[in-house]
Chain A
Amino acid sequence: MRGRLGRYLLWQARDYAVERGAATLIVAGLLVLFALQTVGPGAPDAFRSGVAATEALAGFLLAFAPLATLIAVNGIVANDRRFHYFRFLFSKPVSAARYYAQTFLVSWAGTVAAAGLFVVTYGLVIHPVRLEGPLLFVTLYFLVFGGLGFLLSAVTRFDWMLLGIIWMLSLLARGFFPPDDGKLARVIDIILPPSHHLTLLAGTMVRGDVGSHHVMLWTIGYGITTFVLGLVAIHYRPLAA
Chain B
Amino acid sequence: MRGYGLCAAGGEAVITFDRVTKIYRPLFKRPVVAVKDFTLEISPGEILGLAGPNGAGKSTLIGLILGYHRPTAGRVSIRGSLPREYVQRNGIGYLSELVAIPPAWTLRGALMRYALLSGLGDREAKRRVDDVIERLALVEHRDKRVKELSKGTEQRLGLAQAILRDEAILILDEPTHGLDPVWTQRFRELVRELRAPHRVMLIASHNLDELERVADRVAIIDRGSLRRMVDLRSMNGDGASLAYRILVAEGEQIVASVFPAALQVAPHEFETRVASVRALNEGLAALIARGAAVRGVSPAYSSLERQFRDVVGEEVA
Contact = CB atoms under 8 A, between A and B. Distances in A.
B118 A92 contact: yes
A90 B96 CA distance: 12
B93 interface: yes
- Give chain B's interface residue range (CB within 8 Å of chain A): 35 or more
8 contacts: A3-B117, A7-B122, A86-B68, A87-B98, A90-B68, A92-B119, A93-B117, A94-B88
Contact of B117 (A19, A84, A94, A240): A94
B260 to A, nearest CB: 52
Of listed B68, B90, B112, residue having the most chain A CB within 10 A: B68
B104 interface: yes
Contact of B116 (A11, A85, A238, A241): A11
Interface string B81-98: 000000111111110101
B92 A88 contact: no
A36 interface: no
B89 A2 contact: yes
A239 B62 CA distance: 13
B176 interface: no
B277 interface: no
A8 B116 contact: yes
A83 B147 CA distance: 14
B122 to A, nearest CB: 7
Q: Please name the 3 residue pairs, one residue from A and one from B, whose CB atoms are nearest each other, closest first.
A: A84-B100, A1-B119, A91-B94
Interface in B64-82: 66-70
A240 B63 contact: yes
A105 interface: no
A238 B120 CA distance: 26
B31 interface: no
B43 interface: no
A6 to B, nearest CB: 9
Contacts of A11: 109, 112-113, 116
Using C-beta atoms within 8 Å of the partner chain, give the interface range for chain A. Answer: 20 to 34
Interface string B101-123: 11010000100111011111110
B119 A83 contact: no
Nearest to B86: A93
Q: Which of A8, A85, A92 counts the most chain B CB atoms within 10 A?
A: A92
B205 interface: no
Interface in B45-74: 63, 66-70
A187 interface: no
A67 interface: no
A5 to B, nearest CB: 8
B93 A91 contact: yes
Interface string A213-241: 00000000000000000000000001111
Given A238-B67, A241-B69, 18 more contacts: A1-B90, A2-B119, A3-B91, A7-B122, A85-B102, A86-B68, A87-B66, A87-B94, A88-B94, A90-B66, A91-B162, A92-B114, A92-B117, A93-B88, A93-B89, A93-B117, A238-B69, A240-B69
